């Protein structure tokens, strides 16, 4: 089933991009913690794409990492910096694999619907944004239906997709990201020393060969149509405290370091021996915070 609020072919035109690099950088700096790689890649990729009047292909980003590390949050920040209304904009379209494509037996129907949905919305607004969440739960082969839209074609069936943005979110590859981060930690090196080249090649191979991923042996990867594989590192104790502090401020509470420490200490960490990384990232700190703020 297509996402609710379908407006295929009914939009007159889309507004200009809102995105200005300083605004995007400010949001990433003040709201995203522990993700120096993701921050740099997202800022450069999005800003560069939006400033290019004639891109050769759509911007295609694949964000990878454990739950709670910031993938959904970053896609929200990108949407908010490009269109008023962010994820609620008529020009931003979110697909959740388990919600919109639940049954493997319907994959042929889903492929047709997906192509129609994207074609209709890009026809109405060339600068449409499409976000695919839970790529690790998507049925193998389904995402290949959009391969022609991501390729280096000027037009496909009289429609140009070159100004659209596609963002994929996935837990696939998280183990590989953690291995690299742990290697750096165990050798006494700072996580900020990790470079994209330490992650990206192995990450793309890991995702391509992961049979539990919607990208398994996908033509999108085989044809090099994904511009950036963006690693989201597992978060440390200090990053959880940053998340909690910002959330307290956002709710209008005075920052209380005692509450921040108590909430952070309730979280669980891995590996069991070293206890370096949060196993849920920042995902559940907000509900834990409710408990202490109600005291």
Indicate whether 21 pLDDT > 90: no
pLDDT the model gives residue 9 = 41
pLDDT the model gives residue 60 = 98
Residue 200 neighbours by CB under 8 Å, 6+ apart: 228, 229, 231
- 72 belongs to an annotated ligand binding site: yes
- 85 belongs to an annotated ligand binding site: no
Element counts in the chain: helices (H) and strands (E): 12, 7
Indicate whether 168 pLDDT > 60: yes
pLDDT the model gives residue 207 = 95
**In this structure, what are the phi and psi dihedrals at residue 162, rounded to the nearest 5 degrees?**
-70, -20
Query: Is residue 158 classed exposed, middle or buried when 0-12, 13-18 and 19+ CB atoms within 10 A define those classes?
Result: exposed
Indicate whether 13 pLDDT > 90: no
pLDDT the model gives residue 5 = 41
pLDDT the model gives residue 3 = 59
pLDDT the model gives residue 10 = 43
- 48 belongs to an annotated ligand binding site: no
- 60 belongs to an annotated ligand binding site: no
Residue 187 DSSP SS3: coil
Comparison of pLDDT for 228 and 84, the residue scoring more = 228
From 19-23, 39-43, 69-73, 116-120, the region with the lowest mean pLDDT? 19-23
Tens-digit pLDDT profile for residues 209-263: 999 899 999 999 999 999 999 999 999 999 999 999 999 999 999 999 999 999 9
Residue 42 neighbours by CB under 8 Å, 6+ apart: 24, 28, 61, 74, 78, 230
Indicate whether 6 pLDDT > 60: no
The 10 Å CB-count burial string (b at 16+, else e) for 244-277 is bbebbeeeeeeeeeebbebbbeebebeeeeeebb
- Average per-residue pLDDT for the chain: 92
Indicate whether 113 pLDDT > 90: yes
Residue 58 neighbours by CB under 8 Å, 6+ apart: 149, 150, 161, 162, 163, 164, 165, 166
Q: Are 214 and 139 in contact (CB under 8 A)?
A: yes
- 9 belongs to an annotated ligand binding site: no
- 68 belongs to an annotated ligand binding site: yes
- The CB density around residue 89, as the number of other CB atoms within 10 Å, is 19
Indicate whether 8 pLDDT > 60: no
- 70 belongs to an annotated ligand binding site: yes
Mean pLDDT computed over 74-95:
95
Q: Strand pairing partners for 229? A: 62
Tens-digit pLDDT profile for residues 50-81: 999 999 999 999 999 999 999 999 999 999 99
Tens-digit pLDDT profile for residues 172-216: 999 999 999 999 999 999 999 999 999 988 899 999 999 989 999
- 66 belongs to an annotated ligand binding site: yes
Q: DSSP H helical segments within the chain, as ranges? A: 21-31, 36-50, 71-82, 97-100, 107-124, 147-150, 174-186, 196-208, 219-222, 237-250, 257-266, 285-293
């Amino acid at each position: 089933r297509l996402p609710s609020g379908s407006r295929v072919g009914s939009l007159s035109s889309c507004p200009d991009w809102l995105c200005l690099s300083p605004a995007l950088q400010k949001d990433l700096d003040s709201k995203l913690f522990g993700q120096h790689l993701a921050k740099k890649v997202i800022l450069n990729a999005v800003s560069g794409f939006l400033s290019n009047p004639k891109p050769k292909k759509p911007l295609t980003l694949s964000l990878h990492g454990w739950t709670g590390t910031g993938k959904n949050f970053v896609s929200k920040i990108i949407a908010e910096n490009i269109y008023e209304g962010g994820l609620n904009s008529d020009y931003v379209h979110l697909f959740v694999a388990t919600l919109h494509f639940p049954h493997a037996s319907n994959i042929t129907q889903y492929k047709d619907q997906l192509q129609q949905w994207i074609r209709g919305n890009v026809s109405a607004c060339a600068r449409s944004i499409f976000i695919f969440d839970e790529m690790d739960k998507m049925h193998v082969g389904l995402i290949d239906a959009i391969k022609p839209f991501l390729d280096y074609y000027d037009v496909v069936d009289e429609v140009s997709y070159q100004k659209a943005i596609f963002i994929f979110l996935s837990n696939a590859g998280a183990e590989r990201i953690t291995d690299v981060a742990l290697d750096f930690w165990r050798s006494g090196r700072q996580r900020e020393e990790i470079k994209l080249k330490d992650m990206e090649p192995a990450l793309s191979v890991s995702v391509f060969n992961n049979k539990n991923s919607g990208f398994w042996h996908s033509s999108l990867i085989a044809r090099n149509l994904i511009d950036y594989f963006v690693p989201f590192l597992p978060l440390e104790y200090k990053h959880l405290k940053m998340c909690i502090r910002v959330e307290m401020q956002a709710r209008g509470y005075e920052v209380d370091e005692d509450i921040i420490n108590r909430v952070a200490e309730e979280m669980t960490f891995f590996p069991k021996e070293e206890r370096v990384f949060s196993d849920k990232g920042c995902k559940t700190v907000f509900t834990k915070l409710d408990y202490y703020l109600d005291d």
